[in-house]
Structures are given as C-alpha cells and as structure tokens.
Amino acid sequence: MDLADRRSNGNSIGEVKEMRRQLFVLLEGDRANRRAAAWVEIGVNTLILINVSAVVLESFAPLAARFGGAFRIVELVSVGIFTVEYVLRLSVSDLRYPELSKPAAVLKYALTPLALVDLAAILPFYLPLLVHLDLRAIRVLRLVRIVRILKLRALLGPFMIMETAVAKRQAELSITVFLTAITVMFSAMLMYFIEAPHQPEAFSNVLSSIWWSIATLTTVGYGDIYPVTALGRVLAAIIALAGIGLVALPTGILGSSFIEEFNASRSQAARRRRKCSGREPQIVSRHLRPRRPRRSRRSQAADREVAGRPSERKADAN
C-alpha cells in the first residue's frame, strides 16, 4: 500500500511539473508549442486593445454616462484576466531562472521591466480598495491604466533594438546633449541681458530665458515670449538656425544606429530560420577537409603497369 501511495504521489508530482512546464511554454511563446502560444498572445493583445479603447472612450462624458456599465464590465474582466496572468507568470518564474531558488526567481522576475508593467496595469484597480484616496488621485490612477498598452509583447523586440542602439551610441549622444545644454544656457543668458531692460515681464529672469531658448532651439516657437529689439531678433535667428543642426545631430545618430541594429537583428533571425530548417550553409576550411590517403611508390608503379598492359597487347597484335 505504501508503494502504491508513493507511486501515485510521484505520478501526481510529475503531472504538476508537466502542467507548469506547458504553462510556461504558453506564456513565454516557446518554439515547441508556437501555435498555442500565438493564440494566447493574440487573445491578450486583443484584450489590451479593447481595454485601452475603453479608457479613451470613457473620457467622453456622454459615452461615459450612457455606457458606464459596459465600461465597468470591461474593466473588471480585464483586471481579472491580467491578475491571473501576472500570478501565473510569477508561479512559473523558477522555470525562467532554473539556477535560482523559488523565492529568488520570483523576486528577480517581479523586478523585470515586463513584470513591473504587468503590475502597473492592475495596480490602479486594487490601490483604491486598499488605501483611501481622494477623487483627484483616483482620476490619476484611472489615467494610468493607459500603460496597459505596454503589455503588448510585440513591442518588446523594437524596444530592445532601440535600447541597444542607444547604448552603442552613448558617447556620441552625450556629446550632443552637452553641446545642447551649453547652447541653451549661453543663449538664455545673452537674451536675458539684451531683452530684460525692454521686456521685464517676459524676460524677468534667466529661467524664463531658458524656456524661450529651448522653444527656439527645438524650432517650436510657441510665441508666448519673443524678442522685440533688433539685436535680440538677430540672436534669435542665429539660435533658431543652430537649433536645426543640434536637433538633427542626435536624430541622425539614433537613426543610423537603429537601422544597423535592425538589419543585424533581421540577419540573425534569418540565420536561425535557416539553421532550424537544415539549410544553413556549412563553410569548411580547406585545412579541415579530409585528405586522400597517400599511396606508396610500389602501388603507384603497379597502377602504371596495369594501365600500360592494353597498349602492349595492341602493339603485339599489330
């Protein structure tokens, strides 16, 4: 009886492990079960888009008054599904980090950016139930629900490419940020000393001039603050022309780096597909090719003798 109990317990433990493994495959989109994982991802993405659309439509007062109950049902269903997904991802986090213990794996996954986004997607619903908040804080939390769009796993690849592109061009971007900061401060101080005597309300201090300098360098030009003196307008024209180059520098750096990383990612994906399909071209060095065995001189002489016998027979016949 004890042996039977042990076998049944072992079978149940094995079934639980297999269920957790299959759940991990579904949530992570493993290649072994790509179709089922794709359906799960499509369902979650559809729910995210429906939820974000409901948040946007709820901001219209007539629609909120008419379809408030429907929006509430969408909110409850979405929060319920997102909560279950978050808990399930935490429960199988030890399969993601097999080298760590269960608590350490859960903590490590909970601090990842994707897990924090999942938590931010459900936190605005539970926080007012746990902590007493005023109406303004509740409205802010309801607007925070828009971060659920970041749960779209399809955005993960482009975000990772952009992160790599920024990391590789960090030095160049730091130089452009430094040059932009110097230009903003220098132009703001000059404009303050030029325009403050004529417009004490508009250019009351250097911080107000910094606001004007940023709006001019980025070629936005809101028009709330502008110079009226001839020297100030000449300086504004120079700063506006310089702003075109300063804005174009980081744009070009990031654009070229992003294209390089995108092409490298596509090439790597194509190599993986060829390797999985068995069509990966194998390049073998000539030093690794199998060499023909060298034959002895006696064997070579015997071959020449055999090759020469038909000619000797022809000569005898003639």
Residue 309 has pLDDT above 70, yes or no: no
Instruction: For the domain covering 167-277, report its CATH number.
Output: 1.10.287.70
Average pLDDT over residues 224-236: 88
pLDDT tens, position by position, 159-171: 778 878 888 888 8
pLDDT value of residue 285: 39
Q: How confident is the model at residue 283 (pLDDT cuts 50, 70, 90)?
A: very low
Domains 2-151 and 167-277 share a fold: no
pLDDT tens, position by position, 251-271: 888 888 888 888 887 887 777
What is the rounded CA–CA span in Å between residue 125 and residue 138?
A: 9
Q: How confident is the model at residue 298 (pLDDT cuts 50, 70, 90)?
A: low
Average pLDDT over residues 26-42: 67
pTM score, two decimals? 0.55
pLDDT tens, position by position, 51-98: 878 878 888 888 888 888 888 888 888 888 888 888 888 888 888 888
Structural class in CATH, domain 2-151: mainly alpha
